[in-house]
């Protein structure tokens, strides 16, 4: 049993790495194969994996995770400004700072659980947003956002050419440099920034896999299933929840730092409650508590954000041009509010539908379909328990 699990994990890891690394090839046919979007897929994937370690395993629903993303972004920009344009110190510093910040917030918020916890984290995130927006303007540059500028000190490498804004780089490789390969009639764009994010994504995915399989992960799951009982057995669960909170805060900080490395600008809106809500959406949509679910959800949401928000009613009109005029107008009027700037509404609707009908997210949906295919008719009581174990196993992946 254990052995099969381990080989399954190896297979999963290899498959995941292959899919991520082949990103430009896979995404190009969907019109999503350009660097900016692919970078966001990977970065928000990291963010969602981190959120899932907290929410998926312990069941603590944090509504303020964007605060850590924002803190990571700000500290990374400061590192790029003060020390070096190389992204390594920026990322390390951002992870450390956001970890400390998560330790502080987690220490206070985790005194309560359930709804109190959600509200407290939401309040903290909103407080951080307000701090960044107005109170701490000297550090965060307020509404305008913090960015890399020409006259930054940059102790290690201030010798960039005059009048040229430096681009964040990894030991000389610019994050924005892209090589285009023509392949099967498509332009595949291999971007340095994407591959940096993708390698980090694979690394943190492996880390989360290990956490899921470790005794520590077991305890976190025990907290989710029945914390009271765990406490009655003489187990102090708070250090474990706090550790999970800090880990997921560090993941968020890492994602924030990577966002800054791709585009050196950090603004307060990154910390607003909508941003916190977005990562919740990603995790739920993909499937909370599963390994690949969050990455899947992050990809879906970023993809649809990109596709939906670019559509407009003229395009909708074209889709139905074969239909009679009045029907076309009606359909256009019905559909167009959900597209373009209204894509948030479709997002909200999809989210509600997923929570209502498919609480396990896309992964559970896929499992259900697989079960339906494998076992068309509900035959015999023998398949019952067997089926349960297979779903339990496949839910892990």
Partner 1 sequence: MDAFLLQILNGLDKGSAYALIALGLTLIFGTLGVVNFAHGALFMIGAFCTVVLNSLFTLTKVTISATEKTPWGTPLEIHTPYVQLWFGDIGATMIDYSVFWSLLFAIPVMLIVGVAMERGLIKHFYKRPHADQILVTFGLAIVLQEIIKQIFGANPIPQPAPDAFVGSIDIGAMLGMAQNTVIYPIWRLIYFLFSAIVIGGVFAFLQYTTFGMVVRAGMADRETVGLLGINIDRRFTAMFGLAAVVTGLAGAMYTPILSPNYHMGMDFLVLCFVVVVVGGMGSLTGAVAAGFLLGILESFASMPAVKEFLLGFSIDQVIIYLVAVIILLVRPRGLMGRKGVMET
CB 288, min distance to partner 1, A: 9
Largest CA distance in the chain: 77
CB 67, min distance to partner 1, A: 12
CB 118, min distance to partner 1, A: 6
Closest to partner 1 by CB, 68 or 351: 351
What angle do helix axes 66-82 and 238-262 make, rounded to 10 degrees?
Answer: 50
Q: Are residues 33 and 181 in contact, defined by beta-carbon separation less than 8 angstroms?
A: no
CB 21, min distance to partner 1, A: 33
CB 126, min distance to partner 1, A: 5
CA distance 125 to 140: 15
Closest to partner 1 by CB, 87 or 288: 288
CA distance 158 to 358: 53
Q: What ranges in the chain are assigned the alpha helix state H?
A: 2-21, 23-27, 35-58, 66-82, 87-109, 114-130, 137-140, 192-213, 215-232, 238-262, 273-286, 293-310, 313-319, 325-335, 343-357, 361-374, 383-396
CB 168, min distance to partner 1, A: 31
Closest to partner 1 by CB, 113 or 397: 113
CB 48, min distance to partner 1, A: 15
Closest to partner 1 by CB, 39 or 52: 52
Closest to partner 1 by CB, 43 or 132: 132
The dihedral over CA atoms of 237, 241, 247, 252, expressed in degrees to the nearest 10, equals 180
CB 306, min distance to partner 1, A: 18
Residue with token string 């000389």: 172
CB 254, min distance to partner 1, A: 25
Closest to partner 1 by CB, 333 or 393: 333
CB 123, min distance to partner 1, A: 5
Contacts for 371 with CB less than 8 Å, ≥ 6 apart = 387, 391
Closest to partner 1 by CB, 130 or 176: 130
Q: Which residues pair with 169 in a beta bridge?
A: 86, 174
Closest to partner 1 by CB, 262 or 347: 347
Q: Which two tokens stand for residue 131?
A: 């701090």
Contacts for 366 with CB less than 8 Å, ≥ 6 apart = none
Q: Are residues 253 and 65 in contact, defined by beta-carbon separation less than 8 angstroms?
A: no
**Residues interacting with partner 1, by CB under 8 A?**
55, 59, 61, 63, 108, 111-116, 118-120, 122-124, 126-127, 130-131, 133-135, 227-228, 273, 277, 280, 284, 337, 342, 344-345, 347-349, 351-352, 355-356, 359
Listing DSSP states for 230-263 in one string gives HHHTT---HHHHHHHHHHHHHHHHHHHHHHHHHS
Distances from the Cα of 53 to the Cα of 17, 107, 217, 229, 252, angstroms: 20, 17, 9, 21, 11
Q: Which two tokens stand for residue 128?
A: 């951080």
Closest to partner 1 by CB, 113 or 191: 113
Listing DSSP states for 5-45 in one string gives HHHHHHHHHHHHHHHHHTHHHHHGGGT--SHHHHHHHHHHH
Closest to partner 1 by CB, 31 or 348: 348
């Amino acid at each position: 049993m254990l052995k099969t699990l381990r080989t399954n994990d190896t297979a999963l890891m290899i498959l995941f790495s292959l899919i991520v690394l082949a990103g430009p090839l896979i995404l190009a046919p969907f019109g999503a194969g350009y660097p900016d979007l692919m970078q966001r897929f990977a970065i928000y994937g990291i963010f969602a994996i981190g959120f899932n370690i907290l929410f998926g395993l312990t069941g603590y629903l944090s509504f303020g995770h964007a605060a850590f993303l924002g803190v990571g972004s700000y500290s990374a920009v400061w590192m790029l400004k003060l020390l070096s344009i190389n992204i390594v110190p920026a990322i390390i510093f951002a992870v450390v700072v956001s970890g400390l910040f998560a330790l502080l917030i987690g220490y206070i918020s985790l005194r309560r659980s359930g709804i109190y916890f959600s509200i407290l984290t939401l309040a903290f995130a909103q407080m951080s947003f307000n701090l960044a927006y107005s109170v701490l303007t000297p550090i965060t540059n307020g509404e305008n956002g913090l960015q890399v500028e020409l006259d930054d000190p940059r102790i290690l490498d201030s010798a960039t050419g005059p009048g040229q804004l430096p681009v964040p780089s990894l030991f000389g490789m610019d994050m924005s440099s892209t090589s285009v390969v023509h392949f099967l009639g498509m332009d595949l764009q291999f971007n340095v920034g994407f591959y940096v994010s993708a390698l980090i994504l694979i690394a943190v995915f492996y880390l989360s896999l290990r956490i899921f399989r470790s005794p520590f992960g077991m305890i976190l799951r025990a907290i989710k299933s029945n914390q009271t009982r765990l406490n009655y057995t003489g187990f102090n669960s708070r250090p474990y929840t706090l550790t999970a909170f800090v880990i997921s805060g560090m993941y968020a900080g890492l994602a924030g730092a990577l966002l800054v490395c791709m585009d050196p600008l950090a603004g307060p809106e990154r910390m607003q409650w909508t941003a916190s809500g977005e990562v919740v959406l990603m995790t739920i949509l993909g499937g909370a508590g599963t390994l690949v679910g969050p990455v899947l959800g992050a990809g879906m949401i970023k993809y649809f954000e990109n596709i939906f928000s670019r559509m407009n009613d003229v395009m909708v009109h074209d889709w139905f041009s074969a239909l009679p005029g009045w029907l076309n107008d009606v359909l256009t009027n019905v559909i167009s509010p959900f597209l373009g700037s209204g894509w948030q509404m479709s997002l909200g609707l999809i989210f509600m539908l997923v929570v209502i009908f498919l609480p396990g997210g896309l992964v559970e949906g896929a499992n259900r379909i697989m079960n339906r295919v494998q076992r068309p008719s509900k035959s015999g009581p023998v398949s019952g328990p067997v089926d349960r174990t297979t779903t339990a196993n496949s839910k892990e992946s």
